[in-house]
Structures are given as C-alpha cells and as structure tokens.
Structure 1
C-alpha cells in the first residue's frame, strides 16, 4: 500500500519539477509584461540611488576640522578650495556659507538652507517612483489574476459535459501566477524604498548637524 502511494507521488513531483520558473512566468499571461517592466525600473532606481547616496556620504572625517581651522585663521580662499575639491552635499553647503562670509548671519543661514534643499531633492530623486512601484505591482498582479480567472471560467463554461479537474486547476494556477509575481516585486521594492529612505534620512541629519556646527563657528569670533 505504501509502495503504491509512493509510485503515485513520484510522477506528480516530476511533473512539477519539469515546470521551470521561466515557464511559469510565461504562463502568467500578458499582465506579466508590466510587472516585468516595473521590476526592471525598480532595480535600476535602487542601484542608481544606492550608489548616489554612497557617494554623497563620502565626506572626509577631517573635513570640518580643516574648515574650522582655515576659517579661524582667516584662510577663506583655502577653505573654498577644499569645499570645491570635495564633491559632497555637505561640502557644497559649507562652500556656499563660506562664500557668504561677511554677510549677515541670517543671510548665510538662508544660503546654506537653500543649497541643502536642492541637495535633499537630488538625494530623494525617483524615491517616490519606487514607492509607487511597490504599490502598483501587487495591484497589477491582482488584476491579472482576476482577468485570468474570468478567462478560465469562460473556458469551463464552453466545455461540454463534465469539466476535467486538470482544466480547472490549470486555469486557476496560471491566473494566480500574476498575483505571486506582483507581490514579489511589490515586497522587494517596498523594502528597497524603506532602506533608501533610511539612508537618506541619516545623511540629511548629518547635513543639518554640520550646517549648525558651521553657523556656530561663525559666531565664535563674536564671542571672543
């Protein structure tokens, strides 16, 4: 009895193994095309933003120490040169502040803040699109499942006589493939979006701290 049961299970397992992932994706229907396009866009945005954020965070540790020393010594030109040679958001913000030295403190703060807003906009570029993909991909998958189920039931209705279990099961599992694919893309892009937002938030906090530190530096000569 046990042997016969094992013999019946083996062909089923072999049949499932014969269906590769690529073949399953093709069985998902035309709704797999927009899901595939969204996945490619999501991967591109994640990789591009990841490298951009990494480059933006590469401010040398001794950067602010050198800036402080140069400003206190009156070496404004050397400080500007250091900022121009350091291609990071923090360096561009501090460079803008240094170029406004001699102006009222509020003017310097406004200049730094304006540059900071531009840099934040650059860092957050396309993150909204990534969030949209994380929500749109599962919805497209659900739509593909609904349309697939409709087609499956139409095929069943057109059958004369008893409906075979094979016809019923194949129509349903092919329709469910789009839901699985959409959820897979949606979950991955959602995790990627939150990861990038966390990295950007950490970088923005560093930019705010550095700008406050620079404003305090400009007030030091007035305290003495």
Structure 2
C-alpha cells in the first residue's frame, strides 16, 4: 500500500486527505441520521395526546423542540396552534426547510469529493506521465519494461481517485434518499397533528357557542 502511495507521487496526498474527509462525513451522517434520532418512535402519537388533552404548556413545547427534527417541526406547529390552518402550515414549511438543511449538513461536501476525486486522480496521472516523458526526452526510451512500469505507476492516481469517488457518490445519494424519506414522514406527522388541532379547536368553538346560547 505504501509503495502505491509513493508511486503516485505528491498528488496522492490530497487524494488521501479527501478519502479521510469522506470517511469522516459518512460516519458522522450515519450517526446523526439514525431513524430514532430524527423520528423518535411514538413521538407523534404522544404530541397528539398532549394536544387533545390540552397539555401544551411552554415547558412541554420547548422540550419537544430540542428532542429531534420531528420534535422541532411539531413544536413549531404548536407555537401557533391558535392561528388559522394556513398560517400554521406556513410555519411548519418554514421550520421544515431549516430541518432539511440541518439533515443535509456536509452532504454537499461529500458530493464535491465524489466529483473532485476522479479529476484529481486524472491530474496526478497527467503529472506522472509528463515526468515520465521528460525522462524519456533526457535519457531515451531505455528498457521497455521500465517504461511500462512507469505508465502503470502514473495510473495509480487515476485508480485512487475512482476508489475515493465511487463510495463518496454512493453514500451521497444514499443520505439524500434517506433525508427525502424522513421529510415525507415528518410531513405526514405534521398533517396529522394539524387535523388533531382542527378537531380540538372545532370542539372548543362548539362549546363556546353552546355556553353563549
């Protein structure tokens, strides 16, 4: 392995740095985008019970906001629960955009690594080929086997760039897909909470109307 790194020359250094960075991002995103961290089991049902039972004091809502991305979305709806449904939905959508941005953290960097890896590998190969042909210009072709070995060493950078880029691209698409799935489920939970709030507000309105009569 060390011999391959030496064969690739100095362009291998940024490639190895990209590989380490990509690995760190993948590990961090796997940890941060665990399902139980984004969509805690049973949280939606619990919040709807709060809403139905009137247990919506500020402490409950603030704890919910810090719980998870889903909790932050539901807390945003509860903050404006007495307003019209359209305004509540606007608040949910605004909060949702912020939560998606948080969940997609570092994914642009991972996509950049996937795009830059092959280009940087090709650059390293070109540099190696230039050095080899300059050597031929100074000393002649010499041994054909040695020439073939030089070409093989120059291609090490291209192979390394692909080794870095392919997993980065795969994980980039995987995390994007995971976030998109979470967003759909969060929207469904928010809509269900909206329906619960509508039912509760409608019941309160009917009670007030009956008392006034």
Range into which the TM-score falls when normalised by the shorter chain: 0.7 to 0.9
Once the two structures are superposed, the pairs formed by residues 1-224 of structure 1 within 5 Å of their partners are: 21-54=1-34, 57-77=37-57, 80=61, 83-84=64-65, 87-160=67-140, 163-221=142-200
Aligned residues of 2:118 and 2:165 also touching (Cα < 8 A): yes
Aligned residues of 2:22 and 2:113 also touching (Cα < 8 A): yes
Aligned residues of 2:11 and 2:121 also touching (Cα < 8 A): yes
Deviations 1:159-209 (A, max 9, x none): 25x621232022111100000100100111111111111211111111111
Aligned residues of 2:124 and 2:157 also touching (Cα < 8 A): yes
Structure-1 separation of matches of 2:116 and 2:40: 40
Deviation at 1:121, TM superposition (A): 0.4
Structure-2 separation of matches of 1:68 and 1:129: 38
Deviation at 1:109, TM superposition (A): 1.4
Structure 1 unaligned residues grouped into runs of 5+: 1-20
Aligned residues of 2:39 and 2:182 also touching (Cα < 8 A): no
Of 111-120 and 162-171, more deviation after overlay is shown by: 162-171
Question: TM-score of the superposition, structure 1-length normalised?
Answer: 0.83
Structure 2 unaligned residues grouped into runs of 5+: 204-213
Deviation at 1:79, TM superposition (A): 5.0
Structure-2 separation of matches of 1:64 and 1:117: 19
Structure-1 separation of matches of 2:124 and 2:36: 40
Aligned residues of 2:38 and 2:70 also touching (Cα < 8 A): no
Structure-2 separation of matches of 1:58 and 1:97: 17
Structure-2 separation of matches of 1:33 and 1:87: 41
Aligned residues of 1:156 and 1:167 also touching (Cα < 8 A): no
Aligned-residue Cα RMSD (Å) equals: 2.0
Aligned residues of 2:38 and 2:69 also touching (Cα < 8 A): no
Deviation at 1:56, TM superposition (A): 6.2
Aligned residues: 202
